[in-house]
Chain A
Amino acid sequence: MNRENKISPPPWATQLLRWYCKPSLLEDLEGDLNEYFQRNIKSSGVRKAKLVYVIDVFKFFRLYTIRKPEFITLLMNFIMIGSYIKTSGRSMVRNKLFSFINIVGLAVSMSVGLVLIGVLTDVLSYDKFHQNHQRISRVIARYEYLGEKGNNFMATTSLKSARLIKENFSGVEDVAILRSTLQGDLQIGEKIIPLGGFWANPALFKVFSFEMIKGNQVTALQQPFSLVLTETSAKKLFGDQDALGKTVVLNKDRSYTITGIIKDIPFFSHIKFEMLGSLGTLEIIEKEDWRKDSWDDVWRTWAYVLLSEGADTKLIKTNLDNLSKKEDPSVKNTHIELALQPMDNIMFGDSIGNEIGPVLGSTLLWVFGGLAFIVILSACLNYTNLSIARALRRTREVGVRKVIGAMRNNVVMQFMVEAVIISLCSLAIAIVGFFLIRPHFLSIEPEIQKMFTLQLSPLMLIYFFLFAILVGVSAGMFPSLFFAKVQAIQVLKNTASFGGSKKITGRKVLMVIQYCISIILVCASIGVYRQYQHYVNFDLGFNTENILNISLQGNKPDILRKELSELPEVKAVSQSMMVTSVGSYWGTNMKYHGSPNDSSGVGFNSIDENYVPLLGHKLIAGRNFEAKADSTKESEVIVNQQVLKRFNIGNQEPEKALGDVIKIDGKDLTIIGVMKDFQYGRANNQVSKEIVFRYSKKDSRLMNVKLQSNDLIATHAKMEAIWKKIDPVHPFEAHFYNEQIQEAFAGLSATVKLAGFLAFLAISIASLGLLGMVVFTTEIRLKEISIRKVMGASEGKLLYLLGKGFVFLLLIAAAISMPIVILFFEKVVFPKTANHAPLNVFEMVLGVLAILILALIMIGSQTLKAAKSNPAEVLKNE
């Protein structure tokens, strides 16, 4: 009996009952339920009894049992809101400095939050225009050769798997197949337009909701040599004429019929194309390369399945595994794992290989989200700091309110309202900040510009508003609870300094952390910027000044060269296959007869006879190429010093190496010159140090033009006019060599920008927090200061007294963070990067000093204010 009595009903159910039940009915009801519970234990066991108890608790949730919301409280709160707003407004106006700091601090951090919200809304709106977007999944594949693990999934799969899924799987309505790459010049009459897209099967229009304006959705992609164009591409090709049924020639090869025109692809589609070709075409064109039935050709086909309503994805995954089991033996040593990736997850998902277009990836989102969160959090903490710094004045107000009859929740409400008002004011500024940040954010990387618009939409404004309220509530949470705890008697009895002092240690720690973050970010930005400068101005071993690289885009170079040479601004013209030192590599295999079994990969560039002098490559021995006709057999080569070293040609003496023969691509080439080593790859990369120059004009893809002009823009325009005459189809693509090198380090400059921006935010927020701390402490010690003054302390001494604590904290922060940054660069960054600039500790110290000086100015101004205060004013109240 006693033991049974100890078994009690589920406590949460009792809690629920207590929560909703009227106090007048509660005791009786709880007792009744308990009695029944004990009875049920005896009759039908503990478990059943508990279940019945829970059910009963829910059953008693009736009109007559539930606690009526205390109408008075609601009404009070409602009436009081007006008063809260009024008093909040007054207190904001009274403490202009505090309100200003709060609003600006929150606004700064919120603008970052707004950008994040913008990114999220954009990402969320991806692919939603497809009617069945929730039912579309992508087949992704993981390639495993000889059991090697660690390969990740790729967005592509094999054509065979797509076909088998369509034929054999239940729960799959249809499979849309996209295959790379359909790219080329479309010719209609004299007009040539370059377009890009995919090869696709007819099911594409069933799975996706690309809207067809003209043509038949079902049959458009059925016949070989059919093309579907987007509205814009059709307009480009045919103007206002009706394009349907017309034929065009692709790449001067075969003609295709236009069988459909679809609306332009919406911006928020992760699949983008200008035209689609029927997949059947490929079967005819590619023949051997088509590999319709190869299980391991998983690199160039995207398959999207439309699942039927309520399809069991687990079952499909099991079926996919079974399919792999069945098909794996068809290819030796290979295992292909297939899986489904819901289309709505593609933009958010992990970045996997072979994506069909740019994808945000969850990593970037988490990093950005995390940083935004840190910034917002520290702004909220600042708000807390500042509010409590004002505690001295406001506690009396709260005390009076409480005496008059305010309840705890009234006080909480008042401070919440105040925080929300402040955060709404911040929102107004933050939106301006959002517009200021937006272009910079979009231009951090070219990819980002293709993925996001960050256009303000009504939905986004609603999100902004909710966000501001959330920030306000979380910022106001701690202060309002703090003030709600205020005891009227204590406050009004004037035992002034309470509460705050205990939390000072915590806030000191917080401040040190904030300053650590700022200093780390500042030093890191300085460090990375130094590297960027170093690489951009790196001595590559040749000259890149005033050299314009023009992409030939398949045109014959001779006419262009002739026309360009006639311009007075053009000093010299040469041809080459590639631009060196910007991160591209062209490799080939080389053998030397001195060591017949030794072959090695070397980097190369195919050039003409003008290239070496134009770019100022230094020949240590031998001569440059001489002009030859295109048809001449390749027979000569220029090598760099590293090649001599690698193969030990001529005992590494350049003069002796001349005339020796090496084998490249099966051709015997005579060394006619040895050049000084130069940076072939990007300056921060040491791959491929053995370089050869080969003579081949027909492999040229670029024209290098050395300019001498005061008006580069005009020269550029002149050259563009020449280009237009020669190739009206493709736009003129010309870049200055120096700019290309800068572009090659765009990632680095993006890092500098982002880190610099975050450093700026972190400093602003940390400074505001510091200001709050200083004001708080000086206010608390105002009487002490006055007494010291009366006793004869000088202002300087007081300044020292008040400021030393903070300076000490700042020095701790610097002492912690500086070594972290230096170690990070020395141990993590530098071992991985070649040719790095030495760490400039002096510059970093300067950066830290700048932060410290900023902090000192704030400390100084506030403490000076306190030190200058008239002791008579302060002490007369005592």
Chain B
Amino acid sequence: MKGTNLGEFEELVLLTIAALINDAYSVGICDELEKQTGRTVKLGVVHAVLNRLEEKGLVKSKLGEATQARGGKRKRYYSITSAGKSALLKSKEVRDQLWSMIPQLSLKRI
């Protein structure tokens, strides 16, 4: 099933949400990703991914308080659900497993 596997960017977004804890809203995520990965991240892409993650049930969202900035519009804060947590853990597991399979030598030789 396509729904259960995380894409690379999806995983990054998910990790960022987890890392930002209480400040994970679209623009914030965008900025953080840019800072961490060094690549330009488009809001539109992040938005689409967030929307998809929410559909998959990996994140949930709620609207925050209205502020003077943003033209009086509320922010939508995202947080990871338990399904999201397990998806992250699972993908980490897979990676770790694969890492462990690589003999030290073979990597050094490249």
Question: A61 to nearest B CB, angstroms?
Answer: 10
A704 touches B (CB below 8 Å) = no
Q: Is the CB–CB distance between A34 and B48 below 8 Å? A: no
B73 CB contacts on chain A under 8 angstroms: 27-28, 30-31, 34
Main SS of chain A's interface residues?
helix
B25 to chain A, nearest CB (A): 8
B63 beta carbon closer than 8 Å to chain A? yes
State whether A34 and B71 are in contact (beta carbons under 8 Å apart), knowing that A28-B76, A60-B44, A64-B48 are contacts in the complex: yes
- Residue in chain A with minimal CB distance to B70: A31
Cβ–Cβ contact B26 & A28, under 8 A:
yes
Contact among B25, B26, B48 for A62, CB-based, below 8 A: B48
User: Does B74 belong to the interface (CB within 8 Å)?
Assistant: yes
Does any Cβ of A come within 8 Å of B60's Cβ?
no
Contact of B27 among A5, A36, A62 (CB under 8 A): A36
- A56 interfacial by beta-carbon distance below 8 Å: yes
A839 at the interface (CB under 8 A from B): no
A140→B66 CA distance, assembly (Å):
68
Residue-wise interface mask of B (20-64) relative to A, using a CB-CB cutoff of 8 A (1 in contact, 0 not): 000001110000000000000001100110011000000000010
Do A30 and B26 contact each other (CB < 8 Å), given the known contacts A56-B43, A56-B44, A62-B48?
no
Q: Is A679 an interface residue (CB 8 A)?
A: no
Query: Are B70 and A34 neighbours in the complex by a CB distance under 8 Å?
Result: yes
Contact between B74 and A29 (Cβ–Cβ < 8 Å)?
no
Instruction: A28 to B26: give the CA distance in the assembly, Å.
Output: 9
0/1 per residue, B67-107, Cβ < 8 Å to A? Answer: 01111011110000000000000000000000000000000
- A35 contacts B44, C-beta separation under 8 Å: no
Give CA–CA (A5, B51) in the complex, Å. Answer: 29
- Residues of A within 8 Å of B70, CB to CB, are 31-32, 34-35
A38 with B63, Cβ < 8 A, contacts A28-B75, A60-B44 known: no
Most buried by A among B27, B44, B70, B75: B70
Give B19 Cβ to nearest chain A Cβ, in Å: 20
Q: Which residue of B lies closest to A33 (CB)?
A: B43
Q: Which parts of A52-105 form the interface with B (CB within 8 Å)?
A: 56, 59-60, 62, 64
Least Cβ distance of A330 to chain B in Å?
A: 67
Distance in angstroms between the alpha carbons of A59 and B52 in the assembled complex: 17
> For A5, what are the chain B residues with a Cβ–Cβ distance below 8 Å?
68-69
Picked from B47, B51, B52, the residue with its CB within 8 Å of the CB of A32 is B47
Q: Is A857 an interface residue (CB 8 A)?
A: no
Report the bound CA distance from A30 to B66 in whole Å.
13
User: Is the CB of A8 closer than 8 A to any CB of chain B?
Assistant: yes
A31 touches B48 (CB 8 A): no
Cβ of A25 under 8 Å from chain B = yes
User: Residue on B with the closest CB to A14?
Assistant: B71
- Are A32 and B71 closer than 8 Å at their CB atoms? no
A8 closest partner in B (C-beta): B71
Name the distance in Å between A843's Cβ and chain B's nearest Cβ.
Answer: 73
User: Is A28 a contact partner of B74 (Cβ separation < 8 A)?
Assistant: yes
- Please name the residue on chain A nearest to B31 by beta carbon: A39
Please name all residues of chain A whose beta carbon is closer than 8 Å to the beta carbon of B68 when the two chains form the complex.
5
Contacts of A31 in B (CB 8 A): 70-71, 73-75
Q: Quick one: given A31-B70, A36-B43, are A25 and B26 in contact (CB under 8 Å)? A: no
Chain A nearest Cβ from B9, distance in angstroms: 16
| Residues of the B chain whose Cβ atoms lie less than 8 Å from the Cβ of A59 | 44
> For the complex, what is the distance from the CA of A12 to the CA of B75, rounded to whole Å?
23
Residues of B in contact with A, size category:
10 to 19
CB-nearest residue of chain B to A60: B44
Q: Is the CB of A32 within 8 A of B69?
A: no
Q: Which residues of A contact B71 (CB under 8 A)?
A: 8, 30-31, 34
Distance, CA A484 to CA B15, complexed state (A): 53
* Contact residue among B25, B47, B69 (Cβ-Cβ distance under 8 Å from A38): B69
Chain B residue contacts of A8, Cβ below 8 A: 71
CA distance A38 to B74 in the complex (A): 16
Complex CA gap A62/B42 in Å reads 14
Query: B30 to nearest A CB, angstroms?
Result: 9
Given A35-B27, A36-B27, residue A29 in contact with residue B69 (CB < 8 A): no
Complexed CA–CA distance, A43 and B99 (Å) = 43
Which of A5, A8, A31, A36 has the most C-beta atoms of chain B within 10 angstroms of its own C-beta?
Answer: A31
Closest residue on chain A to residue B77 by CB atoms: A28
Interface residues in A770-793 by Cβ distance below 8 A to B read none
Residue in chain B with minimal CB distance to A27: B73
Residue pair A28, B63 in contact (C-beta under 8 Å): yes
CB distance from A793 to the nearest CB of B (A): 65
User: Whole-angstrom distance from the CB of B20 to the nearest CB of chain A?
Assistant: 15
Contact (Cβ within 8 A) A29 B75: no
Smallest distance from the beta carbon of A21 to chain B beta carbons, Å?
Answer: 11
Q: Is the CB of A60 within 8 A of B74?
A: no
Query: Which residues of A have CB within 8 Å of B26?
Result: 28, 32
B25 neighbours in A (Cβ, 8 Å): 28
Chain A nearest Cβ from B35, distance in angstroms: 15
A27–B74 CA distance with the chains assembled, in angstroms? 7
- B43 — which chain A residues lie within 8 A by C-beta? 32, 36, 56
What residues of B have a CB within 8 angstroms of the CB of A29 in the complex?
47
Residues of chain A from 2 to 48 with CB closer than 8 A to chain B in the complex: 5, 8, 25, 27-32, 34-36, 38
Smallest distance from the beta carbon of B72 to chain A beta carbons, Å? Answer: 8
Specify which chain A residues have a CB less than 8 angstroms from the CB of B51 in the assembled complex. Answer: 25, 64
Collect the chain B residues with CB atoms within 8 Å of residue A38's CB.
Answer: 69
Q: Mark A557-579, 1 if CB is under 8 A from B, else 0.
A: 00000000000000000000000
Q: Name the residue of chain A whose CB is nearest to the CB of B50.
A: A28
Contacts of B75 in A (CB 8 A): 28, 31
> Which A residues are in CB contact (< 8 Å) with B69?
5, 34-35, 38
Which residue on A lies nearest to B75, using beta carbons?
A31
Distance between Cα atoms of A59 and B75 in the complex (Å): 20
Q: Which residues of the other chain, A, contact B27 by a CB distance below 8 angstroms?
A: 32, 35-36
Residue of A nearest to B46 (CB): A32
Taking the closest CB of chain A, its distance from the CB of B79, in whole angstroms, is 15
* CA A31 to CA B71, docked complex, whole Å: 6
Interface string of A638-649 (1 = CB under 8 A from B): 000000000000
Alpha-carbon distance between A120 and B43 when the two chains are bound, in angstroms? 53
Of all chain B residues, which has the CB nearest A63?
A: B48
Q: How far is the CB of B63 from chain A (nearest CB, A)?
A: 7
| A860 and B56 alpha carbons, distance in the complex (Å) | 75
Cβ distance A503 to chain B, nearest Cβ, rounded Å: 41
Per the bound structure, the CA–CA distance linking A8 and B70 in Å amounts to 10
Instruction: Give the distance in Å from the alpha carbon of A34 to the alpha carbon of B69 in the complex.
Output: 8
Smallest CB gap from B73: residue in A: A31
Look across to chain B and name the residue whose beta carbon is closest to the beta carbon of A62.
B48
Q: Bound complex: CA of A240 vs CA of B43, how far in Å?
A: 80
Rounded to whole Å, the gap between the CB of B26 and the closest CB of chain A is 5
Least distance between B109 CB and chain A CB atoms (Å): 46
Give the residue name and chain of the A residue nearest to B42 (CB): A59
Most chain-B Cβ atoms within 10 A of its Cβ — which of A28, A36, A60?
Answer: A28
State in angstroms the CA–CA spacing of A38 and B71 once bound together.
9
- A28 nearest in chain B by CB position: B76
Cα of A31 to Cα of B69 in the assembled complex, Å? 8
- The chain A residue with its CB closest to the CB of B44 is A59
Q: How far is the CA of A60 from the CA of B76 in the complex (A)?
A: 17
Q: Least Cβ distance of B96 to chain A in Å?
A: 33
Inter-chain CA distance A34–B71, complex, in Å, is: 6
How near does chain A come to B64, taking the closest CB pair, in angstroms?
A: 10
Residue of A nearest to B67 (CB): A31
Chain B residues contacting A27 (CB-CB under 8 Å) are 63, 73-74, 76
Q: Specify which chain B residues have a CB less than 8 angstroms from the CB of A35 in the assembled complex.
A: 27, 69-70
Please indicate the chain B residues that have their CB under 8 angstroms from the CB of A25 in the complex.
51
Cβ-closest 9 pairs across A and B:
A31-B73, A31-B70, A28-B76, A34-B71, A34-B70, A35-B70, A32-B26, A59-B44, A35-B27
| Extra A-B contacts (9), CB below 8 Å, given A27-B63, A28-B25 | A8-B71, A25-B51, A28-B63, A28-B75, A29-B47, A31-B71, A34-B71, A36-B43, A38-B69
Q: Which residues of B approach A to under 8 Å, CB–CB?
A: 25-27, 43-44, 47-48, 51-52, 63, 68-71, 73-76
What would 8 A/B residue contacts be, using CB atoms closer than 8 Å?
A: A27-B73, A27-B74, A28-B63, A30-B73, A35-B27, A56-B44, A64-B51, A64-B52
